[in-house]
Amino acid sequence: MPSAWLALGILLALDVAMFIDVFFDADRVLSAVGNDIGLQFLSWRQFGFAELAAGRIPLWNPYVYAGAPYLGGFQAALFYPLNLVHLVFPVATAINLVIGIHIWMSGALMYAWARTRGVHPAAALVSGALLMFSAPWMLRVYGGHVAALSTLTWAPLVMLGVDRLFTPGWLLASLGGAVVVALQILAGHPQCALYCAVGGAAYAAPRLWAGPARRTVIAGLAVMYVGAVALAAIQVLPGLAAAGESVRAGRTPYVFARMFSLPPENLITFVVPGFFGDLAHIPYWGRTYLWESSVFFGVAGFVLALYGAMRGDAALRRDLLTAAAVLGILALGSHTPAFTVLYQLPLFAQFRGTCKFAAPMVMCGTLLAGAGLDRLIRGAVPGVRFLRATAFGAFVLVLTGALLFAAGAWSMPAWLIAAARAVEATKESYLPADAYVSDVFMNDAIRFAGVACLAAGATAVVLTGLLWGLSRRRWPLYGIAALAVLEVFGHARASRATFRASELVPADLQQFFAKRAGDGRVLNLDNPNLALMLRERDVWGLDPALPKRYAEFMAMTQGIPPDEATQSFGIESGNPLYRMLRLEYVLDRSTGRLRVADEPHPMGRVALLYDWRLATGRDDVFRQLGASDFDPAARVILEAPPGIRPERPAFDETPNVSVVDESTDRVTITATLSRPAVLLLTDGYSRDWRAVAHEGSAQPSYSVMPANYILIAVPLAAGRHDFTLEYAPPSYALGQVITGVSLAGLVIVVPVLRRRRS
């Protein structure tokens, strides 16, 4: 019987075996090149923690789009304690350590939750290993979803916290749960935190329905989640403020929200993870992405979970099956009527990817597997019917594998071709359409599906033999546990990928940026978020919190209806209006070599304009911007009166305006003018920009308003002006106070409650 320390040591050994080769390489990064770590997180983390190391908390990101909120984007995760490794190690090493630490923590916390529910230590150890290397966890490493992985890591502890609410000392338990949920929020993926909360509510529901302590538990859940929001207010409030100005504001378009629903056919990945291809041999040809839609935690794990669902502890299986059923239905998203209801709810309508509900569902499955193994360890022997069912399942997998392999090797039947092309017809696949009409590719894909079924069938055969052997002796238990762990470990290791961080910035791109100067912007069609890493400026980027005004403007310039603007479109062509974004160069490496196209007449950082026009709403602004006589260097479109009157010049004058100092969140400007004008700053507008007058400035206060829908305008009277524009969300200041008070309250209250409980 492994002790807790021995179990945690075994899980750590498995984690080290999975990742040891990247922990000491400062250039290799976990994930596949072209996924989120390379496209977003390397640049984001290098920028954010470099600023933090210098003693600054960057609220604004001036390097992508025309500027956008940084801290409020959540995924920056500057306040997440475990991300502080970025202050010590190079960014690539730090990301690898964050991933490795969280994979191990997932197993350790799963072990703790299983033990709390009375599962045998050895079975709890297997549950932890199954979760660590399950597809919803390890495939997120391939996809580069480090924030989602960090958030999901705490899910077992959320469930354990729910369990504690049903015991004496519920208030202390709810405060502990609040800390855990606050860590989930700070980890950077609020959607996963929300989905785990739904899973926790579903997990508690059966006991709430039947238990006498209903009011106490509901109060505990309220304290747990309200307390979590209060503790994480320094992140939550600016995050909500930024979301209110982003493409996620209000209800996202239905077409966007329904994306990445778990395809029903992908339930086959419970036992055959490679049925639709994998991430190493055959490109995934199913719907959505494989890391979003695989629910694999092993053939042995799945069979043990079925046994746990039938023979495990009655209360445990009731709670887990309820939670798994609710989460599974929600994961299917738009493939069930439940999504229509879900879409009407405020928070859910801001997200896409209901398939993320599958992660806590699989987590419930891994504990059910532990419950099944627990029954076997405690002396139960599978009945004849269960053994026959397992043997039949193995036979079906082997037969299916043989038939598919034969079909792929010789001649595919028409119904199989039609089924494959039906996948492409849904337009939910990200494989090029010509692959589905390629006989060579489809033959290879179907043959690979056959091999995957044969491998799953072989595992099922071995497992059936081990289960059958339990009726005669006990040693097959070791084989069952080892088979379950090695199966998921092998699948996870085969799915792991790395790339070189240095490859993100090729030599020709480095040379280009080394030669250029000034504060103009580029359009890097390959990887715009590199601007953060290089401290350059790009007119595009990759950020779920893309400002809504900017998204609508860029969609309009690309011929896309502004109301359909989301984070999911790219820039394919230039536009004359981009000169007001200071666009100087378009960079393209699609051919493998850097091609640089000059953009004519980019505007400067600041300009004084004497011709302003008013517009009534977005569409009127866009109409005026598209007029043939519109010149952004001479005219500005405002949405409210500037409070100044235009005047004719009494003499020829040369306006004097300049930027004298700046940081990520501030720009200090001085200007001298003989008549009123509108100062145009060619940076992105947010309602949280404000202007602070310096002593001796001609105006005691300044108003900041949107210009040309996306830029910043400051009306100026005649005279000399010295002021600082700063991005200062009131929500951040309020969040600091709430978080500080909440932490102080926690430090005071917890010791008192602990003494009372003692």
Instruction: Identify whether 295 is part of a domain.
Output: no
Residue 717: other Cβ atoms inside 10 A: 15
Whole-model pTM?
A: 0.94
CA distance linking residue 312 with residue 305, whole number of Å = 9
> Is the residue at 477 inside a domain?
no
How large is the angle between the packed helices 155-164 and 91-116, nearest 10 degrees? 30
DSSP state of 525: S
Across 372-391, average pLDDT = 94
Residue type, 521: R
For every residue of 414-442, which 3-state class applies, written as one string? HHHHHHHHHHHHCCCECCCHHHHHCHHHH
* 3-state secondary structure labels for all residues of 619-642: HHHHHHHCCCCCCCCCEEEECCCC
Pairing of strands 583-588, 521-524: parallel
598 pairs with which residues across the strands?
Answer: 585
**Spatial CB neighbours of 542, under 8 Å, sequence gap ≥ 6:** 39, 40, 64, 528, 529, 567
Give the span between the Cα atoms of 610 and 678, in whole angstroms: 6
Residue 717 belongs to domain spanning = 606-727
Q: How sure is the predictor about 649, in pLDDT bands with cuts at 50, 70 and 90?
A: low
- Binning pLDDT at 50, 70 and 90, where does residue 279 land? confident
Of the CA atoms within 13 Å of residue 254, those in its CB half-sphere come to 7
Please give the average per-residue pLDDT across 278-290, as a whole number: 89
Give the relative orientation of helices 155-164 and 358-377 as an angle to the nearest 10 degrees: 70
For residues 15 and 100, is the Cβ–Cβ distance under 8 A?
Answer: yes
In the prediction, which pLDDT does 367 show? 98
pLDDT at residue 1 tops 60? no
The percentage of the chain sitting over the pLDDT mark of 90, rounded to a whole number, equals 70
439 part of a folded domain = yes
Distance CA(717)–CA(726), nearest Å, equals 20
pLDDT at 652 over 80: no
Nearest to 35 by CA among 141, 115, 147, 118: 141
Q: Give CA 232 to chain center in angstroms.
A: 18
Confidence of residue 64 (pLDDT cuts 50, 70, 90): very high
Q: Domain for residue 657, yes or no?
A: yes
* Least confidently predicted of 68-77, 152-161, 732-741: 68-77
pLDDT at 44 over 90: yes
Q: Is residue 444 part of a domain?
A: yes
The partner residues of 583 in beta bridges, in order of sequence, read: 521
Is the Cβ–Cβ distance between 145 and 356 less than 8 Å?
A: no
Residue 337 structure tokens = 């009527």
416 against 81, higher pLDDT: 81
CB of 218 closer than 8 Å to CB of 166: no
Give the count of beta carbons closer than 10 Å to the beta carbon of residue 280.
13
Cα torsion 5, 11, 12, 14 to 10°: value is 150
Q: How many domains does the chain have?
A: 2
The pLDDT tens digits for 204-219 are: 999 888 766 778 889 9
Q: Quick one: average pLDDT of 627-638?
A: 93
Question: What Rg value do the Cα atoms of the chain yield, rounded?
Answer: 29
The residues, ordered by sequence, that sit 6+ positions from 345 with a Cβ below 8 Å of its Cβ are: none
- DSSP characters over 568-624: T----S--GGGGGGTEEEEEE-TTSS-EEEE-SS---SEEEESEEEE-SSHHHHHHH
Q: Are 280 and 113 in contact (CB under 8 A)?
A: no
DSSP letter at 694?
P
Q: Residue 649 maps to which CATH number?
A: 2.60.420
Return mean pLDDT, the chain: 91
Which of 30-34, 56-60, 167-171, 552-556 comes out lowest in average pLDDT? 167-171
More confident residue, 33 or 116: 116
Find where tokens 């309009």 sit. 556
- Residue of 43, 80, 338, 107 lying closest to 190 (CA atoms): 80
Question: Cβ neighbours of residue 20 under 8 Å, at least 6 residues apart?
Answer: none
Q: What is the mean pLDDT of residues 337-360?
A: 86
Q: From the CB of residue 212, how many other CB atoms can be counted at a distance below 10 Å?
A: 6
* The token pair that represents 169 in the structure block: 């000392």
Mean pLDDT value across residues 76-83: 95
Which two three-digit tokens encode residue 484?
A: 């379950």
295-325 confidence digits (pLDDT tens): 999 999 999 999 999 999 999 999 999 999 9
Q: How do 689-693 and 719-727 pair as beta strands?
A: antiparallel
Token output for 404: 């598919």
Calpha distance 323→123 (Å, rounded): 20
Residue 651 has pLDDT above 70, yes or no: no
- Measured CA to CA in angstroms, residue 23 lies from 43, 74, 100, 148 at distances of 19, 26, 9, 21
DSSP 28-81: EEES-TTSHIIIIIHHHHHHHHHHHHTT----EE-SSBTBEESGGGSTT-TT-G
232-255: per-residue pLDDT in tens? 999 999 999 999 999 888 777 888
Question: And the tokens for 730?
Answer: 């009131």
| pLDDT of res. 270 | 96
The DSSP-derived string for 455-522 is HHHHHHHHHHHHHHHTTT-STHHHHHHHHHHHHHHHHHHHH--EEEGGGGS-HHHHHHHHH--SS-EE
Please report whether residue 373 resides in a domain: no
Answer yes or no: is pLDDT of 420 > 90.
Answer: no
Q: What pLDDT, on a 0 to 100 scale, did the predictor assign at position 2?
A: 64
Greater confidence, 569 or 394?
A: 394
Output the CA angle 511-516-522, nearest 5 degrees.
Answer: 95
Residue 169 burial by CB count (10 A; 0-12/13-18/19+): exposed, middle or buried?
A: middle
pLDDT at 597: 86
Residue ending a domain, among 469, 499, 529, is 469
Residue 491 lies in a domain: no
Q: What are phi and psi of 470, to 5 degrees?
A: -65, -20
Amino acid identity of residue 336, one-letter, is T
Q: In sequence order, which residues have a C-beta less than 8 Å from that of residue 525 and are 6 or more positions away?
A: 570, 571, 586, 587, 588, 589, 590
| CA distances in angstroms from 364 to 128, 240, 315, listed in the order given | 11, 30, 14
Specify whether the CB–CB gap between 137 and 103 falls below 8 A: yes
Torsion (CA) 530, 279, 74, 107 in degrees, nearest 10: -130
Regarding predicted confidence, which is higher, 128 or 167? 128
pLDDT at 491 over 70: yes
Report strand pairing: 711-716 vs 705-707: antiparallel
Question: Which candidate, 646, 701, 707, 699, places its Cα nearest to that of 681?
Answer: 707
34 pLDDT more than 90: no
Alpha-carbon span 583 to 537, nearest angstrom: 9
pLDDT value at 412 more than 80: no
The gap from C-alpha 459 to its chain's centroid, in whole angstroms, comes to: 33
pLDDT of 653 reads: 64
The pLDDT of 369-384, averaged and rounded, is 94
Domain assignment of residue 371, yes or no: no
**In whole angstroms, what is the distance from residue 22 CA to residue 19 CA?**
6
Which residue has 């299917």 as its token pair? 332
